[in-house]
Amino acid sequence: MPTRPLRVLVDMNIQRAPDSRPFRDQLASLLPGHEVFALQDDFPEHAIEALATAHLRPGLARRLPALRLVQKLGAGVDTMVRDPDLAPGVRITRLRHDGQAQDMAEWALSHVLALHRDHAWYASLQAAREWSGRTARPAPLTTVAVLGLGEIGGRVARAFAAVGFRVIGWSRSSRAVEGVETRSGPAALDPLLGEADYVIAVLPSTAETSGLFGAARLAGMKDGATLLNMGRGDLVDEAALPEALDAGRPARAVLDVTRIEPLPPESPLWAHPAVTLTPHVSGRNTGDAMAATAENFRRLAEGLPLLDEVDRTRGY
């Protein structure tokens, strides 16, 4: 039993789990000797040292003067590192789970293969009761660019390489991915976009990546290409995207993330014929999130190195 119990708060703050008390009970069972509260409880704000949350609620950190660690119940931390109420000394950790990387690789594969093998076209022929076919371009002659080569991006790149596509990975600094050609640095990005048939963005939101796909960069993509974004919503200039799609560069966009979520009803992306939307579901499988959270909270209590700590200055 720890010599000084931690006081921990759980605030899921997600639409599908508005009540954090079931998660409180799960985490408490993994942290004997510590005190675990849900946001719905009467909890001691002045004494909370660790917070587990999927999305940091605006103003919550300001109410927790003793806060030392925020465990993100997910991977993306861009809004969290920019939260003005989070004191500079508060540490942030996030989940890294093989299941989430696999989920995201499957999401990307499913959409690319559906486009590559003309699923929508064959559905239209079926509706017209027409029996006709055409030959798909061989995968080795089809270039898939994966932007971002961390744990998730690396898994995505390897998954496409295993199917037989020509895969080129890109990252800000040099990274090696087994079986995949890689390029790095700003100078390598635009030439890559000009040759890729499918561009899959798995990048975090940082000062360098926000607005990365503006009008000029979209226009520089290969004619007929598809842009898939499962990184962060602010990577793509949504105001410029419809016009770019109308011009065929890119010819299609598949978006799992948007700048504002849920996507506002008035957004033209809902009705654009070249846009496919999914509601931020590409990486929902976060594995045993509470077990990983409990491990980091134990490490905090015992003064041990934390797992998957975020560099707040870099934003990831």
Active site residues: 232, 280
How much helix, strand and coil, in percent to the nearest 5, is found in the chain? 30, 20, 50
Is 226 in contact with 199 (CB distance < 8 Å)?
yes
Question: Tokens representing 199?
Answer: 């561009």
How many beta carbons lie within 10 A of that of residue 4, not counting itself?
A: 8
Tokens 């993509």, located at residue: 221
Q: Please, which residues bridge with residue 67 across strands?
A: none
> What would the two tokens of residue 95 be?
């989940």
Report d(CA 66, CA 63) in Å as an integer: 9
Q: Taking each helix axis from N to C terminus, what angle separates 98-116 and 119-127, rounded to the nearest 10 degrees?
A: 50
Strand partners, 35: 7
Alpha carbons 212 and 102: distance in angstroms, whole number: 25
